[in-house]
Structure 1
Amino acid sequence: MKAIKLPSAYTILLSIIVFVAVLTHLLPTGKYAYQNGEGKRLSPQEAMRGVEDGFLPLPNTYEAVESNPQGIFEVILAPIQGFYKAIDVSVFILMIGGFLGVIMATGAIDAGVKQVLKKLKGKEQWMIPVLTALFGLGGSTFGMAEETLAFYPVLIPVFASAGFNARTAVGTILLGAGFGVLSSTVNPFSTAIASGFAGISIGDGLGVRVFIWFVMWVLTSSFLLRYAKSVKTAPKIEEEQKEIALPALSQKQSLALILFALTFLVMIVGVIPFADLGITIMPTLGWWFNELNALFLCSAILMGVLVGMKEDEIASNFVNGARDMLGVAFIVGISRGITVVMNDGLIIDTILNYAEMAISGLSSSVFICMMFILEVFLSFFIPSTSGLATLTMPIMAPLSSFAGVEAHWVVTAYQTASGFVNLFTPTSAVVMGGLAIGKIGYGEFFKWVLPYLVVVFLLVLLVLGVGVMV
């Protein structure tokens, strides 16, 4: 039987634009009254921009307005207008890509992981919690996913020499980076994009996400350690293979890693609203996309200079890294085109009104758990974290005001749902690529990881459900 192949994310999103345009001919049209972030009620003209600018709809103010159905011409223009609407996010993605292109070209991350392995020689069981923490930090801070594919050929032989099987190595890399993405703290491709469309700072809800990261690290490490113990065998390697080549971390690579860590530290300090948290010892900088774009651009250039790259090498590596992120930028633009059609067709508030009626009377816990489950469902069709954020946040974030839930909980529900699905979905190139390198069948992998997935699913529901009440 031939395997069913899902269309690409681009095709799915373009199809949704057409579907939404059809809905503008079928659904009643209406508008809410809106208020801005300072609580000021907006005029109807100002409110026409609606959720695109992070304005919050006021409950029980929905009124019918004259329809404005969208035709073929509007459908064709929607992705282009979407790029204009999401230009700040798209540029941010390219700057991040360029920055990562420079650090990856130094070989610092690869060499750093190898040095960790060298330090753990003779204490091989500690490879698992240490490496899951490293990959988890990568997933949590810069969305490390595709980059992990380079580590499978390196780590599988290392794990084998320590007496562990390929599944242990694959699980350490795949689940390690995966739980990091699920519990993203400042991940620019999920948390930052979703926060931007929700009209909040990336620092909002950071404490909750750090807590989820720690719990997920303990859970993932425990699952892998328990399995590794059950399959541990005596090392079986030939005499000439006993010493695995682990090149030393050069001084330049060390500098690159230090600057890499400092860049994300500065990013975190720049976006956290310390004043809102009652912290006076740290200044509230109020940074957002413009400042962060400048940060990653300057850090990339400085890193290139510090490691001795020539001017053309810095430029080439930066451009190559940005090029790798073009697909993500395209997805963001096309996804935003959906919101353009819904907004111009005056049905986005109608959908919000239906949702308001559906959640009316629900407790905050039930609301946020339903939000998580809905995002899990949508993630199967749109595995791109940035695409899913762009598609759902303009609608989901305003619903939080109806349910009396802070918007950062909706962002957390979205990113945990997307991260959860991308731990195992067969539509993910990261999942299928890692399994292919490890020569592990998907059915075998899914059966093995299913108990872990059930615990993760229930754990996230528990954290979300209890957290909104605290």
Structure 2
Amino acid sequence: MADASPDPVPTADRFPSAFTILFGLVIVVAAASWFVPAGEYTRQASALLGRDVPLPGTYTVVDPAPQGLWAVLRAPIAGFYDPESYDANAIDVSLFVLIIGGFLGVVNATGAIDAGITAAMARMRGREKWMIPVLMALFALGGTTYGMAEETLAFYAILIPVMIAAGYDALTGVAVILLGAGVGVLGSTINPFATTIASDAAGIAFTDGIGLRVVILILGWLICTWWVMRYAARVKADPTRSLVADRRDANARHFHDGAKAAVSLTGLRKLVLALFGATFAVMIWGVASQGWWMAEMSMLFLAAAIVIGLAGRVGEKNFVEAFVNGARDLLGVALIIGLARGIVVVMDAGKMTDTLLHAAEGMVTGVSEVVYVNVLFWIETALSFLVPSTSGLAVLTMPILAPASDFAGVDRSLAVTAYQSASGIVNLVTPTSAVVVGALAIGRVPFNRWVRFVAPLLGGLIVLVMGALTLGVLL
């Protein structure tokens, strides 16, 4: 029988879901339209951004346009498609998310990703110290390319027994996976659910600013890896220094009994992994040199899913089931994007968007670019606790904060980097994240002890991000 935990891992059940939070914001925004002054900027076409942008200093007050119950109920629909507010439409992004989900579903059906990570673990057995950086690099690669998060939950039951057998503890196993994938998302380079969606909402290509994000990714991985290896070495030298030392024996019995069988890396799965990586390489090439965007990228991932299905010999029925199930897994993300953009629709209809921009313009006037970009990071950090969905936060904040960056003389790509870094840091520790809560529950690590372990590391990551943003402004 499992031991009773004196510090149960909290659940996110009592905290409102992202849907509830965002719909509540729709109501708040509609109510605000009755007393927030309406206003507009003069706009002109920007060849760089391919859309009209507001001109600083041209804000004027206009007649109010209060939004009522009809606007509130219409917002989630209009967020997907609103002929009167084309820039707020999310149908192309949402469809892209669903197709990405189908693509990942087919890849997962081949077992290639599971097999690749399992093979790396097997090759490092007996050299577990070096397993930590290798595995954290693999998980970071998944995080930075396709936002690997919920997919990691399958690996805890495989890795934790290995770490315990090597003389470490369950927390080490949790940290390798959670921090590895988490720092990848924090330093997202081509992550469709963070960088791509945020860049789309900001009106720029997701390849803009990718160099700085690579720097954040590499340095963040080095910091997290050093932190985990340092803790693991300390535990191995003196098991009483483990933060979960009181449940060491119980965990050893539990994870030994519950260990899962490894998945073999066959030649076919190696081919699938090669095609998987090639798909993202082609996406970067298409966006950077061919002007691709949502429609073309959706076509690419659909075609790649078909090719991988054929190469992996998934079979017609299994292919369709895997693709549909994969898309279903991300349906919530697609709906959140539409709902979040519905907030922008209500703000635009109530003529409040430019009023908020005007307020931001006043705040950044006379403020240095360095101060502005770091304040922006902390704004996104605070909002990440309120809106735990990375995609929902992107489409909620970028339509406001990206144009505000123009007023401050800060490149919009830095606004995207500030957003995704803030969201990535918060989602390493927030109890509203299903990934964090699920990982700690599987690893039998109390939340308060995880906070003790990760708090100093978060401080280091914050310093890294703020330094990188500052460097991005100065260069």
TM-score by length of 2: 0.90
Find out whether 1:227 has 2:231 as its counterpart: yes
Structure 1 counterpart of 2:291:
286
- The match for 2:446 is 441
The aligned amino acid for 2:76 is P
Counterparts of 1:30 and 1:345, CA distance in 2: 9
Q: How far apart in 2 are the matches of 1:86 and 1:441?
A: 39
Say which SS state the counterpart of residue 248 (structure 1) adopts: coil
Shift of 1:234: 10
1:442-461 to 2 correspondence within 5 Å?
A: 442-461=447-466
Distance 2:313 2:260 in 1: 28
Alignment deviations for residues 112-139 of structure 1 (CA, whole Å, 9 cap, x no partner): 1111011112211111111111000100
Aligned residue for 2:17?
A: 8
Other-structure match for 1:403: 408
User: Does 2:44 correspond to 1:35?
Assistant: yes
1:56 Cα shift?
1.8
Contact kept, 8 Å, 1:137 with 1:177, in 2: the verdict is yes
User: Which residue does 1:361 correspond to in 2?
Assistant: 366
Contact 1:184 1:415 in 2 (8 A): yes
Aligned with 1:121 (options 116, 119, 125): 125
For 2:423 and 2:51, how far apart are their aligned partners in 1?
Answer: 22
Change (3 A) 1:199 1:39: closer
Give 1:80's aligned amino acid.
I
Map 1:142-291 to 2 at 5 A.
Answer: 142-232=146-236, 246-272=262-288, 284-291=289-296
Are 1:464 and 2:469 an aligned pair?
yes
Matches of 2:302 and 2:46, distance apart in 1 = 30
Q: What's the % identity of the aligned pairs?
A: 51
Distance 1:3 1:386 in 2: 22
Superposition pairs for residues 327-346 of structure 1, below 5 Å? 327-346=332-351
SS in 2 for 1:427: coil
Mean CA deviation greater in 433-442 or 160-169: 160-169
> Which position in structure 1 is the counterpart of 2:26?
17
**Deviation readout 1:70-122 (Å, 9 max, x if unpaired):** 11111110110001110011001001100000011111111111110111122
Q: Which residue is 2:4 aligned to? A: none
Which amino acid is 2:110 matched to? T
Q: Tell me how far apart the structure 1 counterparts of residues 287 and 79 of structure 2 sit (CA, whole Å).
A: 25
Work out whether residues 140 and 183 of structure 2, in 8 Å CA contact, stay in contact via their aligned partners in 1. Answer: yes
Post-superposition offset of 1:161? 1.6
Distance 1:113 1:351, change over 3 A: same
CA distance, structure 2, for counterparts of residue 325 and residue 138 of structure 1: 17
Indicate how the Cα distance of structure 1 residues 234 and 459 shifts in structure 2: closer, same or farther if over 3 A, else same.
closer
**Mapping of 1:289-300 within 5 angstroms?**
289-300=294-305
SS in 1 for 2:474: coil
Counterpart amino acid of residue 437 in structure 1? I
How many residue pairs are counted as aligned between the two chains?
445
In the TM superposition, residue 466 of structure 1 has moved relative to its aligned partner by 2.4
Distance (Å, rounded) in 2 between the aligned partners of 1:54 and 1:159: 52
Q: In 1, distance between residues paired with 2:468 and 2:11?
A: 36
CA distance, structure 2, for counterparts of residue 77 and residue 56 of structure 1? 26
C-alpha distance in structure 2 between counterparts of 1:190 and 1:57, whole Å: 25
Q: Could you tell me which of 107, 114, 126 is aligned with 1:110?
A: 114
1:280 is matched with none
- Cα deviations by residue, 1:230-276 (Å, 9 ceiling, x for unpaired): 011699999xx8x995443112211111110111111112222xxxx
